[in-house]
Amino acid sequence: MKKTLLSAAIITASLLATQAKAQSMVGITDANSIFTMGSISSPSSISGPYSVSGVVAGQALIAIDKRPNTGELYALGYNAITLTAQLYKITNVGTTYTATAIGSGTSSINLGAGNSSAFDFISSTNNQIRIAGRNGNNYVMDANTGSVISTGTSSLAFALGDVHVSMGGTLAATAYTNSYFGADNTQEVGFDATNNTLITFDAGNFSNNFNNTQYDMHSVGTTGTGLTLLLSNAIGMDTWFDTVSHSNTIFMSANTLTTGTHLYKYDLSSTSGLMTDVGVIGSGSLNVNDIAIDNNNNIPTSTPVTGQLVTALSLNLRNLITFDSKNPGIIRTSKALSGMTAGQTMIALDYAANGALYGLGYNSTSQMYQLYTIDTLTGAVTAVNTTESALSLGTDDGSGSHVNAGFRFVSTLSNKIRVTGNNGATNVLIDATTGGVSATDAALTYITGDANFGATANLTSIAYTGYNGDGTTQMFGYDANTGAIVKFNSSNSTSGYGTGASGFINTDLDISSVLSLFSHTSAYNNSVMDIAYDNTTGSNTGFILSNYNGYGNDLQNFSIMYDMTAMLSGYGKGTSAAPTKVGRIGYGTPVKDAAMRNSNTAYTTGFATVAGAANALLVYPNPAVGNTRIALPAPSIGEVNATIIDMNGSVLREYTYAPGTMTLDVDMSKLPSGLYSVRVGGASATPYNLKVVKQ
């Protein structure tokens, strides 16, 4: 299996570029007008306001936010008389702003009699928006359809022991931290107009799906914001995520009693709750309903994939994400998994020889498992073994985050997956055809005389050298208990060439000091690896992903990629060479497991020759109302064609794009609602058929 692998350690230019330019902001006024701010550090310098056309008569644009994956601006139109709301997407050509309705009509939403609302995209879900009124009602809206998908509790209360526990609260503004595409966790923050204080909600965890669906409030500090504000007016709020310092800052617009509307900020690493006055917005005369900061953290559509497209499971939400092995700082795609048996979470994945992606679903309470195949375009999973079976991999709170399993196809065996548990005892082979355990092998044991002899092996990941059908292979693993890369042996010696059947391992290299950001004694102790064989050079290459939890907070874990190619210079054997750092995954995404497609050749497409390109086609928005955009992994080397085909096989539209194109904007606005196939390809390449829903 040939896999084009990692470069030397790099810090991506895209991360530096993001920080080099001033952070801009957009605001909406009570007159349905947009203004822009070139830099949030200079709020008096604004352009506008500019009127917005397309808003339904009787509605006021009361709130705005930018969608994390695209950077597109969304707004909420509200009629305080009929108690209905409409979601809009705001676009502009120069200073001409237009609101385009999302969905077929308004939704029944009761935000009270005023024209203000708490409104923000939930960072970890991408397509969901939290909406809350000062009357205590709160909702979650689907950004693709504009429809309400859930209604929360109608009461807000401070947590027991809070300084304001005996007082009521009024949520006047809200925002979510980690506002970037690929965010695996987030915390909701807000402003309480009753007590003039910043608030946080219960921190994201497994039980609330890492997006704060529970509504117990916690005061930030004990003395409020320290500001004198006109609290009956609208309050705007958004967060900015600094990709260099890995920190979140709240920005808030509010009207003072004497000097008009100001912009304020608060560093969430502080505990005082006291906000800093950045300055007056414009001249101070604007009544600002809400603000939205351009985080510049959305999906890049102009950065080609230059290495191997790595597929990974995010640690907390178990989203299926992809990134470039040579540029891991950019998350390319993120898909939520669907179709798993209730009570299970996906804890590991790997590619089979035929390119199919397999995953291990596990119930960490009952210790039952199922093997799944995963559709990489949709995130839908299909069970191989239709009923759960027992497998002792350990237990935790039900999240599976504390249960780590080695899960890799064995190079020398046909369609067999080795599964090892981080409890040190489980070591089995699973048949990928049936999903059943085909062999139970010896527990993992350090060989006699090894530096770690007698220690319990806590392997969080395994990998094999060689290619599918190879005559020999060397199995490696990472032991989070000892901090060592271990080599599997065929006997109780350093014989090597072990496939895992004997259970004997030896310390190959202690890398606990190399992975300096990795605390292997922590609860989130998984470090994952994958190894590939390049049949052109006849050598093995690979990577290690190590989780950093130095902040001691679930919400701030992220993963670092290391290149372990130098460790594998001798076929089938390890060396003393240490892994080298490549960079952080995304802007701060922790990873549960990762794998590369097992292919003998790179994918040759009509766009470019890019390894794994079949997984690199991104379609958004999907469902689509007007245009949908298809992002290619690299500039096309010739003309690209996009053909829209209905479910009867009839060709409805054909589009041609010039050589060098990276993004295909496909107009679907004139098509009836329904499911369509969009065929994308070049003159000399096999086309890809993408499913797109037109609303």
Greatest mean pLDDT among 4-8, 408-412, 558-562, 609-613 lies in 408-412
Supply 221's token pair. 């500090």
Angle at 479 between CA 477 and CA 11, to 5 degrees: 80
C-alpha–C-alpha distance, residues 426 and 257, integer Å: 67
In this structure, which amino acid lies at residue 144?
N
CB 26 within 8 A of CB 294: yes
More confident residue, 663 or 519: 663
What band does 323 get if pLDDT is binned at 50, 70 and 90? Answer: confident
For the chain, give the percent of residues with pLDDT over 90.
42
pLDDT higher than 80, residue 668? yes
CB 694 within 8 A of CB 668: yes
C-alpha–C-alpha distance, residues 313 and 589, integer Å: 10
C-alpha–C-alpha distance, residues 337 and 307, integer Å: 25
More confident residue, 196 or 494: 196
Q: Which domains does the chain have, with CATH numbers?
A: 22-293 (2.115.10), 309-409+425-441+510-599 (no CATH), 604-694 (2.60.40.3080)
C-alpha–C-alpha distance, residues 123 and 91, integer Å: 21
Q: What does the pLDDT average to over 60-85?
A: 93
Q: Which residue has the tokens 């260099």?
A: 244
In this predicted structure, what is the pLDDT of residue 6?
29
Q: Which of 169-183, 509-523, 536-550, 662-676 has the lowest mean pLDDT?
A: 509-523
3-state secondary structure 622-636: CCECCEEEEECCCCC
More confident residue, 306 or 247: 247
Cβ atoms < 10 Å from Cβ of 647: 9
Give the residue among 662, 647, 583 at the shortest CA–CA distance from 310: 583
Alpha carbon distances (Å) from 481 to 326, 398, 403, 500, 523: 29, 22, 13, 18, 11
Q: Is the peptide bond before 621 cis (omega within 30 degrees of 0)?
A: yes
CB 568 within 8 A of CB 541: yes
More confident residue, 138 or 366: 366
Cβ atoms < 10 Å from Cβ of 151: 12
In a 10 Å sphere around its CB, with 0-12 CB exposed, 13-18 middle and 19+ buried, how is residue 669 labelled? exposed
3-class secondary-structure state, position 18? helix
Q: Which of 14-23, 373-382, 455-464, 675-684 has the lowest mean pLDDT?
A: 14-23
Q: What is the pLDDT of residues 596-653, one digit of tens each?
A: 875 443 333 333 323 333 344 678 788 888 888 887 766 666 677 888 888 877 778 8
In this predicted structure, what is the pLDDT of residue 147?
92
Q: What is the pLDDT of residues 340-364, one digit of tens each?
A: 999 999 999 999 887 789 999 999 9
Q: What does the pLDDT average to over 485-503?
A: 91
What's the pTM?
Answer: 0.79
The mean of the pLDDT values for the chain is: 82
Q: Say which residues have a Cβ less than 8 Å from residue 343's Cβ, sequence separation at least 6.
A: 363, 365, 366, 398
CB 237 within 8 A of CB 291: yes
Cβ atoms < 10 Å from Cβ of 216: 16
What band does 40 get if pLDDT is binned at 50, 70 and 90? Answer: very high
Pairing status of strand 236-242 against strand 216-219: unpaired
What are φ and ψ of residue 207, in 5° steps?
Answer: -65, -30
C-alpha–C-alpha distance, residues 483 and 495, integer Å: 22
Encode 97-128: b = buried (16+ Cβ within 10 Å), e = exposed: bebebbbeebbebbbeebbbbbbbbbbbbbbb
Dihedral sign for Cα atoms in the order 304, 307, 311, 317: negative
Tell me the DSSP string of 445-490: EEPTT-TTTTPPP-EEEEEE-S-TT-S---EEEEETTTTEEEEEBS
C-alpha–C-alpha distance, residues 335 and 346, integer Å: 13
In this predicted structure, what is the pLDDT of residue 686?
58
pLDDT higher than 90, residue 17? no
pLDDT higher than 50, residue 18? no
Q: Say which residues have a Cβ less than 8 Å from residue 436's Cβ, sequence separation at least 6.
A: 385, 389, 430
What are φ and ψ of residue 63, in 5° steps?
Answer: -160, 155
Q: Which of 79-83, 465-469, 644-648 has the lowest mean pLDDT?
A: 465-469
Q: Which of 26-30, 370-374, 557-561 has the lowest mean pLDDT?
A: 557-561
What band does 458 get if pLDDT is binned at 50, 70 and 90? Answer: confident
For the chain, give the percent of residues with pLDDT over 70.
82
In this structure, which amino acid lies at residue 207?
S
Across 315-455, where does the E strand assignment appear?
Answer: 320-324, 327-335, 345-351, 357-363, 368-374, 381-383, 389-390, 405-409, 416-421, 427-431, 437-440, 445-446
In this predicted structure, what is the pLDDT of residue 217?
86
More confident residue, 459 or 366: 366
